[in-house]
Structure 1
Amino acid sequence: MNNIKPSKERTALPESVWPAEALTQLEQEGADCLGITLFELMQRAGDAAFKLLCQQWPAAQHWLILCGHGNNGGDGYAVARLAKSAGLAVTLVAVDGSKSPPEEAQQAREAWLAAGGVIHDAAIAWPESTDLIIDALLGTGLNRAPGKAYAALIDRANHHVAPVLSLDIPSGLVAANGTTPGVVIRAEHTLTFIALKPGLLTGKARDVVGQLHYHSLGLQPWLTTRSAPMARYDASNLANWLPPRRPTSHKGDHGRLLVIGGDHGTAGAIRMTAEAALRSGSGLVRVLTHKDNVGPLLTARPELMVQEMSTASLDAGLEWADVIVIGPGLGQGEWGKKALQKVENSQKPMLWDADALNLLAISPDKRQNRIITPHPGEAARLLNVRTDEVESDRLLAARRLVKRYGGVVVLKGAGTLIAGGDRLAMADVGNAGMASGGMGDVLSGIIGSLVGQKLPLYDAACAGCVAHGAAADAVAQRRGTRGMLATDLFSELHLFVNPEISNTKE
């Protein structure tokens, strides 16, 4: 049983992401478009899951299938029937509901019974020979903690040695926003159907989804005719934002970036931001910082132009710059406040991070020429709420930040969100190694650089987040996540800001 190992193959994921509340209508309209019933669509889900299970765990012989009372359970019945007909041992455990199940789920249940299947009570002892668990308990309609009977099965599955595949979404994970109001299945693999849901990509998703797979159930041609309200981006999208440069281009074509920050004792933050901008393709990067930082920064990175920040140098820098990045190491004292007050009067594109965000929370304003890049704690201060309130609905928090502060918002974290106007995207990159100091400073430099290279604010934020996370993933693939430094990303970043290189290698 402990020797059951999954395959490492994964299915391609779509770019479009649909809100959880749209899924019921999407399913019905899709089935109508194909001229099939919802029951037939459920059979397609069962078939897709069965094939993936056989592909991932070909040696598994005894499948334990946990079925809920809704359509997610119906998918489980469909899988069970196919497994039984293939000669596999199947133990199906179901949770009874107070109401009748949906029509198509009832049909799937009856088809299982007609095939000679047995439905076991949730309290039974699980067979010792169980070597694979299929989670079909709770689907995308969940918006609260699982009930007692469901919670007991989820807990048992999490403590069992057999691997778990979840159908559509791990039971207990909220499809709308990735929160976990109660216990949740910790799946090794998840197969989602028809459309990607936001909760699979942000919030607690990374902890519980495992390897994510997708199947359109034959609806992909129809889905491409519809415009999804959210997007998922990864490294494969970078070429759309970052075409190869013209051979005759010069440094003036690639942006003059002014980076402001680095009060006494915080030279590291501003250096990482400035160097990240250079390594992302900025033509010229000027740093205005505390006088004590000038020598060390020039010594460490002579390609930078570094000056002590003064009224004169700040005025000249703001006049010179195409783009402004302010905040890393800025501090919240008079030195930083005066700089921010000057920057506030500029109409040039800009990015605010770190202490600039803390000062913004004290004196809020709304402007459309700005990108802000808060982590959840900074977002909480900007919204005057607790950090756990931000994390309880990251999508809502990102939208609220845009409404209050304007421009483009990058809400950092596992499944970073980029919001601007009525657009929302998720950066499907990154890993736990990025939970270390300086990562946000590097991100600010990358995004600021891309703005200087004439990308619109929203596109620069999306491309910057993807390049940043993809570089970290490349580092993790080589060296693991523990002990990753923000500056380690510089060894891989060139591959992602020059996507034609990685495409050639592929």
Structure 2
Amino acid sequence: MERISSLPLLPPRPATGHKGTFGTVLIVGGSAGDVRMIGAPALAACGAARAGAGLVQILAPAPIIDAVIGAALFAIGVAVPVASGDLMDPQAAVLSFDRNAATASSIVIGPGLGAGPAVSTLALRAITQDAVPVVIDADAINELATHPEIWKDLRAPAVLTPHPGEFVRLERAVKSNSNGSIPATDDEREERCAALAQRLGAVVVLKGAGTIVSDGTRVWRCDAGHPCLATGGTGDVLAGVIGGLIAATGSPCDCFILAAIAVMAHARAGETWARTRGASAGMLATELAELIPAELECLRQA
């Protein structure tokens, strides 16, 4: 396992670029059956846009799409019909997903997505296609953790962004680790993150103080960050930033490096907020997203 101590800089943005140059991110999230998380896909969209994506689309259940787009006016809404119990109709969800994934440069699936048959269908659809890189977050992780042989189905270039609890569920699902405990030390976190990434054949971002990123052969630990990041919505922003960087960079891209750069910008944004506000807590996820462009610029070639 190679421990990476420094990250390369992002390439400069071409002066003649247009929105088509910088790709389209498809956010799949939101649940009409649980409107408490209605902001999650909008925050992921904000992260993607602030990371420099040319276009952002949000695929969400029809009953909530107006509210989601109302919180992310720059995004394009894709409404999915719902069936009984306000759950997305699986067949309609797949048709909408396939149609919009065909023109996407990256996919972010999971923020506020909830549970149900359509969620399972969409999560599996996202990982079994092999044309578009996918960032798997939140409810999509929990859904895939119910499939013991997910690693056999995962064909897409993928980045999974679990918090420690989700991480352990994934480990248990794919039999990557048997003790069921949350990794405690930095060394243990690095080793287990790399083992899970290798097992899945994907990039794993183990979130927390000193976030770990690994693709199974390389591992990087973030030495930046601040406790103000420990608030609702910051993980949604991070998933969006990763998706946005993948879309804006274009093909081919190194998802491991882009995920690590996204984590670094996210962590430094937290530090900047705390320093400029003179506070250790109270940051809003929307404020975090607003700080992302300047932090990414510091990580970009002149």
> What does residue 232 of structure 1 align with?
5
Structure 2 residue 140 is the aligned partner of structure 1 residue 356: yes
Residues 417-458 of structure 1: CA deviation (Å, up to 9, x unaligned): 110131011111111111111111110000011111224211
Residues 263-285 of structure 1: CA deviation (Å, up to 9, x unaligned): 12122111000111001100111
Structure 2 residue 165 is the aligned partner of structure 1 residue 380: no
**Counterpart code for 2:57:** R
The CA distance in 1 between the partners of 2:113 and 2:24, in whole Å, is 20
Q: 1:249 aligns with which of 4, 7, 17?
A: 17
| RMSD between superposed Cα atoms in Å | 2.1
> What does residue 334 of structure 1 align with?
117
**Counterpart code for 2:158:** R
Q: 1:452 aligns with which of 247, 252, 256?
A: 247
Aligned residues: 271
Is residue 30–residue 38 contact of structure 2 (8 Å, CA) maintained in 1? yes
Q: 1:430 aligns with which of 225, 233, 241?
A: 225
- Higher RCO (CA-CA < 8 Å; seq separation 6+): 2
> What does residue 101 of structure 2 align with?
318
**Counterpart code for 2:145:** A
Is residue 23–residue 55 contact of structure 2 (8 Å, CA) maintained in 1? yes
> What does residue 284 of structure 2 align with?
485
3-state SS, counterpart of residue 21 of structure 2: helix
Q: Which stretch shows the higher mean deviation, 457-466 or 446-455? A: 446-455
Residues 62-93 of structure 1: CA deviation (Å, up to 9, x unaligned): xxxxxxxxxxxxxxxxxxxxxxxxxxxxxxxx
Structure 2 residue 238 is the aligned partner of structure 1 residue 467: no
**Counterpart code for 1:248:** T
Is residue 447–residue 460 contact of structure 1 (8 Å, CA) maintained in 2? yes
The CA distance in 1 between the partners of 2:233 and 2:71, in whole Å, is 16
3-state SS, counterpart of residue 5 of structure 2: strand
Alignment of 1:256-405 (within 5 A): 256-264=24-32, 265=35, 266-309=37-80, 310-311=92-93, 312-347=95-130, 348-363=132-147, 364-366=149-151, 367=154, 369-384=157-172, 388-392=181-185, 393-405=188-200
Is the alpha carbon distance of 1:500 and 1:334 closer, same or farther for their aligned partners in structure 2, counting shifts above 3 Å?
closer
The CA distance in 2 between the partners of 1:284 and 1:488, in whole Å, is 21
**Counterpart code for 1:331:** G
The CA distance in 1 between the partners of 2:235 and 2:247, in whole Å, is 18
**Counterpart code for 1:396:** E
**Counterpart code for 2:108:** V
Alpha-carbon distance, 1:403 to partner:
2.4
Alpha-carbon distance, 1:335 to partner:
2.9
The CA distance in 2 between the partners of 1:328 and 1:386, in whole Å, is 28
Alpha-carbon distance, 1:490 to partner:
2.3
**Counterpart code for 1:474:** T
Alignment of 1:132-281 (within 5 A): 229-233=2-6, 237=7, 240-264=8-32, 265=35, 266-281=37-52
Residues 374-430 of structure 1: CA deviation (Å, up to 9, x unaligned): 111101111125664423521122022112211111111111111013101111111
3-state SS, counterpart of residue 253 of structure 1: coil
Is residue 332–residue 355 contact of structure 1 (8 Å, CA) maintained in 2? yes
3-state SS, counterpart of residue 256 of structure 2: helix
> What does residue 293 of structure 2 align with?
494
Alpha-carbon distance, 1:500 to partner:
7.4
Q: Which stretch shows the higher mean deviation, 435-444 or 296-305? A: 296-305
Where does the alignment leave 5 or more consecutive residues of structure 2 unmatched?
81-91, 173-177
Alignment of 1:84-95 (within 5 A): none
Q: Which stretch shows the higher mean deviation, 482-491 or 426-435? A: 482-491
3-state SS, counterpart of residue 320 of structure 1: coil
Where does the alignment leave 5 or more consecutive residues of structure 1 unmatched?
1-227
The CA distance in 2 between the partners of 1:379 and 1:370, in whole Å, is 15
Alpha-carbon distance, 1:243 to partner:
2.9
Name the larger-Rg structure: 1
Is residue 350–residue 448 contact of structure 1 (8 Å, CA) maintained in 2? yes
Residues 31-57 of structure 1: CA deviation (Å, up to 9, x unaligned): xxxxxxxxxxxxxxxxxxxxxxxxxxx
3-state SS, counterpart of residue 332 of structure 1: coil
Residues 335-394 of structure 1: CA deviation (Å, up to 9, x unaligned): 312222322331121110101111111114223611101111101111125664423521
Is residue 377–residue 387 contact of structure 1 (8 Å, CA) maintained in 2? no
3-state SS, counterpart of residue 440 of structure 1: helix
Is residue 261–residue 336 contact of structure 1 (8 Å, CA) maintained in 2? no
> What does residue 106 of structure 1 align with?
none
The percent of aligned pairs where both chains have the same amino acid is 34
